[in-house]
């Protein structure tokens, strides 16, 4: 699939599986909205994706998600296997996604997000793969 396509994922919002780009995103914090088709590929590798939709800015939400990102599993290369990124298309202010699993709300819930992280790699077609920084 071409990474210029907007037709990726499984039809859910946010997508939890499905068609994706050949490349993945580095596991870090993004301030510009990346292509969804790339992070859907991250999901296939068992990476966690934390999303936020705050056009006016929400540094407190980003800080909470960034802290939770650090609690994700670490790859063999020492890089935490999760990313944080804006997504203007999610219907809530916050979402967290694993392969075929998602959680969303208007504010981060660290307890719920830690629960989701315990499921990291489960069911992913290519689990436990390292992530580029």
H/E element, 116: helix 110-117
Q: What is the pTM of this model?
A: 0.95
User: How many Cα atoms within 13 Å fall on the side-chain side of residue 34?
Assistant: 24
**What pLDDT tens digit does each residue of the chain (133 aa) get?**
456 666 789 999 999 999 999 999 999 999 999 999 999 999 999 999 999 999 999 999 999 999 999 999 999 999 999 999 999 999 999 999 999 999 999 999 999 999 999 999 999 999 999 999 9
Taking domain 1-125, whether its CATH number is 2.60.40 is answered by no
């Amino acid at each position: 699939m071409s990474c210029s396509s907007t037709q990726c994922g499984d039809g859910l919002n946010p997508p939890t599986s499905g068609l994706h780009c050949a490349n993945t995103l580095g596991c870090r914090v993004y301030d510009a909205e990346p292509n969804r088709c790339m992070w859907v590929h991250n999901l296939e590798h068992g990476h966690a994706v934390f999303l936020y939709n705050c056009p006016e800015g929400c540094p407190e939400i980003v800080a909470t998600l960034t802290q939770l990102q650090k609690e994700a599993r670490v790859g063999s290369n020492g890089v935490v296997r999760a990313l944080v990124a804006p997504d203007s298309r999610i219907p809530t202010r916050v979402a967290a996604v694993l392969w075929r699993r998602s959680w969303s709300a208007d504010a981060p819930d660290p307890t719920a997000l830690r629960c989701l992280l315990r499921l990291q790699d489960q069911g992913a077609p290519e689990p436990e793969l390292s992530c580029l920084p």
